[in-house]
Amino acid sequence: MKSTVSLFALAAATLLASACTTAGANGDQSAAAASTTETTNDLAMTTESPSMTGAPTAAEADAFVARAERELAEFSVISNRAQWVNATHITPDTDALATHFGTIGTEMSVRFAGEAARFANVQGLNPDTRRKLDILRSSLTLPAPTTAGAAAELNDIATRLQSQYGRGRGTMNGETLTGNEIEARMGTVRNPAQLQEMWTSWNNNVGAPMRRDFARLVQISNQGAQNLGFHDTGALWRSNYDMSPDEFAVLTDRLWNQVKPLYDALHCFTRAGLNRHYGDQVQPATGPIRADLLGNLWAQEWGNVYDIVAARRARGSRPSYDLTQLLVQNHYTPDRIVHTGESFFSSLGFAPLPASFWTNSMITQPRDREVVCHASAWDVDNVEDLRIKMCTRVNSDDFVTVHHELGHNYYQRAYNQQPFLYQNSANDGFHEAVGDTIALSITPEYLQQIGLLNRNQMPTPEQDRDLLLRQALDKIAFLPFGLMVDRWRWGVFSGEIPETQYQAAWDRLRLQYQGIVPPGPRSEQAFDPGGKYHVAASVPYTRYFLARILQFQFFQAACRQAGWTGPLHRCSFYNNREVGQRLNAMLAMGASRPWPDALEAFTGTREMSGDAMIAYFQPLLTWLQEQNRGRQCGWQGPST
């Protein structure tokens, strides 16, 4: 099932097509949005095929890869359909269907993962066969061991965790709210007691009941990873980047240290605004920030508290427009938002979405059934059955999310001529970054071109900085969260974080990386990680951190190709077909080449770097440093 989820986990290797999801529950922008039962497809059991005896040969490896690729492609379509039905109509019956097809897929992977490992040291393999064997062996999300019943148990747990999340509820003033409703209210409510109630009830009701199942999932998947020759599941996840797991960890540390000054300045400025609004009793002027005050259920993006943070900006310097208001005033509907997103890609020369997209997608939340509202993009038949699954609302966040999700769909279609095992992005960060690159082009210039903004509403230099601040509250604020979710899971998988310290370690890492704390005490009866979709659905999350870095590299390259000479943050490459041609050339490569090759094809460099992000926000960083002069920035916590 190609949803923004499992697509990155390599649908091929796990028998499931792919789904691309965004980082947040309803498109938390990223992005992407990860694996859904979407994750059930990412389960794989490992064993050696009893039919294979003697020393394997290169010819046998070629034949095996061809057979595996054919069987995976054929099975993926019906499996994708089962996952789609489950995600868009959650019932015990559809849970059972998702588990059933997930288990069948796992049994297929029993043969493929084990046989791929068997050919690992064969001499004389052609490069394509070698690359595909590596994909089959290492691109699993949750590998099951050969123990009888382990695959079925793992599929059952994975389906149950995701469905528990989809059915999750919290409260405000005692009123029961869905996750989608809580996420919306966390962005608008300003009463700290109500914010605390929503935050606490969601994590207690949704996360805590998952704890035992999650611990068992870790045990089973670790056994499967070890059967494949990895130390643990986290090491397996880190092996999918054309480098060793340790080298990948070093790369992410380097990137974080490069962009951390942006986050530190934003944290200091934001905390001052929250203190000014709520007072010392709710938010002290020094130390960490209370997690529920940041306008987001997970404190991962802070744009919803812009009105608080920017409250003491000079009078008359507020942004010249509010995108949500513009959408409402122009009578936008969820369908019209999606059509507008499609038009952006059409302006770059991409073909229109197929007619089936409009009949098969879930664009708004149904009123008659439970669904997984987390935004995701799907390619059900690995060719042209493209879909999105969203509970779209008419607001600026979902306007951006739609552009992001459609980026996944156009990426999926671009590589559909590749062999099945190459029908994926160069690495999972690429898939998320492409949609985000398009979203960065939602500038005042673009809004004017599509008739949402009048010329007399174009921002002044002061207002331009306010727009950049609003962007930073989402883009920069996300960086440490995008890193720490998997830092926590890597520790859990490796055993560094024992089950008895799940909650304490989560809180410690949030303090270390984000400088935030829960609104009240949390004990080991809690399991706040489960309140995040991507943990419940076993979707690797470092892809979203990489996407935050890569999107600015892609964007800077596109703007240079378009001949843009103004400030980077005001560039839009809407209607530029040269950019579209070069972008499509990179997308069409799929996973057929190592990611540095794909990066070089579009940007001219083989290195991931935070330099483009720093250049984009440099005018704001200089201003933030001036505003923070005299403040006690930073927070007490373990060193990052």
- Three-state secondary structure readout of 381-393: CCCCCEEEECCCC
Tell me how crowded residue 301 is: count the other CB atoms within 10 A of its CB: 24
Task: For residues 26 and 373, give the distance between their C-alpha atoms in angstroms, rounded to a whole number.
Answer: 6
Evaluated on CA atoms 623, 625, 629, 634, the torsion sign reads positive
The residue type of 248 is: F
User: C-alpha 170: how far from its chain's center?
Assistant: 23
- At 640 the three-state DSSP class reads coil
- At 436 the three-state DSSP class reads helix
DSSP state of 232: S
Beta bridge mates, 389? 362, 376
Q: Is residue 390 within 8 Å of 402, Cβ to Cβ?
A: yes
Beta bridge mates, 176? 171
Task: For residues 517 and 266, give the distance between their C-alpha atoms in angstroms, rounded to a whole number.
Answer: 17
Residues in the chain: 640
Task: For residues 489 and 495, give the distance between their C-alpha atoms in angstroms, rounded to a whole number.
Answer: 10
Task: For residues 543 and 608, give the distance between their C-alpha atoms in angstroms, rounded to a whole number.
Answer: 13
List CB contacts of 462: < 8 A, sequence separation 6 or more.
Answer: 314, 317
Active site residues: 374-375, 404-405, 408, 432, 534, 544
Residue from 443, 483, 516 nearest 295 by CA: 516
